[in-house]
Amino acid sequence: MKIGITCYPSVGGSGIIATELGKLLAENGHEIHFITSDLPFRLDKIHPKIFFHQVEVNHYPVFQYPPYDLALASKMAEIIDQEKLDILHVHYAIPHAICAILARDIAEHKVKVVTTLHGTDITVLGIDDTFKKMIRYGIEKSDAVTSVSESLAKQTQEMIETVKPISVIYNFVNEKEYYPYEAPLMKQQFNIKPEEKVIIHISNFRKVKRVPDIIQTFYKINKQTPTKLLLIGDGPEYSNAKKLVKELNLEDHVLFLGKQNNISDLLAISDLLLLLSEKESFGLVLLEAMACGVPCIGTDVGGIPEVIVHGETGFIVDKGDTDAAAAHALSMLTDSDYQKQLSVAAIRSVKERFQSEIILEQYINLYKDLLN
């Protein structure tokens, strides 16, 4: 098949999934055409079956805002005709599905549009009435729609009032990158003592990630047992997080590492990952951690309980309940047998439920059904 892919190319779970899917499809012999504003950040190796078509936005003095969405639709239509695409798979209803539908109308060659919903388009933009109608249009007019969790599919149908069937296809990880390994030297490099347990949080530090809850949970854990907290990522809540760490006198225990590329190296020295978000359609970072054998604690929101099996591969707590999060963390950090048991179960769960091969097959079957 010839497949076009559009996603946000910068750091983010949706960009990672779109790019890794493109790479897997190419390894399986399909021809992949990325149509994006920039080279997707995970597209780090040359592959003879992967092509990149950059969307260029010219700045015309008459326009107050550069018309990116129209430039994207126009590029999509050009590539559909030029490359004779079978499928155009877009990640995010807004603006990508809308642009793809427009491109499908403009192009002469027949193409099927697949839209994958990742969360923010529904849970944030869906609240706005103007966007709600536009999102509904994007979903209803797509040839097929997928969502990364049952929870997001249900929420979309309820909030956006769509009738289009939504297939749930879970996210996956690149097993060549995320697997368990030891990295004792890395711990030393960060001046973390061998007996100190490492807790990690990775996000874009948006308000929905509730970073203060991560710090409060860590504060409670750190009072009971020697630990270090690694905070990875950057975003609007970064300086507030720094302030809170100072107020709680935790500066010697919390390492702000900013944006990092080699997340698996940091997961290799971690004992526990915390994701205490307010909204989370899936939580790809949970899967990345679990694949490396790092058990997770997540909140009872969105798709998180579909990823973590409470008491088996990690723990689920109510949003804002930092006491419960700290208690669960201490129960495993102070009992190495229990920690090992959770870690083994986490690795097994990723293999059984989120293996890239299984997910790839689901996407290929969806494409084939559309083309038949």
Nearest to 74 by CA among 38, 42, 132, 35: 35
CA gap 133, 129 in Å, rounded: 7
Q: Is 120 in the site for ligand GMT (CB under 6 A)?
A: yes
Q: Cβ of residue 124: shortest distance to ligand GMT, in angstroms? A: 8
Q: Applying CB under 6 A, does 362 fall inside the site for ligand GMT?
A: no
Shortest spacing between CB 169 and ligand GMT, in angstroms = 10
Is there binding between residue 173 and ligand GMT (CB under 6 A)? no
Binding map of ligand GMT across residues 235-254, x = CB under 6 A, - = no contact: --------------------
Paired residues of 144 in beta bridges? 114
Number of residues that bind ligand GMT (CB under 6 A): 19
Q: 90: Cβ–Cβ under 8 A, 6 or more apart, which residues?
A: 5, 6, 7, 96, 97, 99, 100, 113, 114, 115, 116
* 119 touches ligand GMT (CB under 6 A): yes
What residues contact residue 278 under an 8 Å CB cut-off, 6+ apart? 207, 208, 209, 210, 299, 301, 319
CB of 205 to ligand GMT, least distance (A): 10
Interacting stretch for ligand GMT, rule CB under 6 A, among 58-66, 200-208, 291-299, 363-371?
Answer: 200-208
Q: What whole-number distance in Å separates Cα of residue 178 and Cα of residue 193?
A: 24
For residue 283, state whether it binds ligand GMT (rule: CB under 6 A).
yes
260 binds ligand GMT (CB under 6 A): no
Q: Cβ neighbours of residue 169 under 8 Å, at least 6 residues apart?
A: 116, 146, 147, 148, 359, 362, 363, 366
Residue from 171, 217, 339, 356 in contact with ligand GMT (CB under 6 A): 171
206 binds ligand GMT (CB under 6 A): yes
> Does position 148 bind ligand GMT by CB under 6 A?
yes
Stretch of residues binding ligand GMT (CB under 6 A), selected from 37-45, 201-209, 316-324, 329-337: 201-209
User: d(Cα 154, Cα 118) in Å, to the nearest integer?
Assistant: 13
From the number of C-beta atoms within 10 Å of its C-beta (0-12, 13-18, 19+), residue 105 rates as exposed
Instruction: Give Cβ neighbours of residue 249 (< 8 Å, ≥ 6 apart).
Output: none
Site stretch for ligand GMT (CB under 6 A), options 275-283, 309-317, 330-338, 355-363: 275-283
Which positions touch ligand GMT (CB under 6 A)?
12-14, 17, 118-120, 123, 148, 171, 204, 206, 208, 279-284
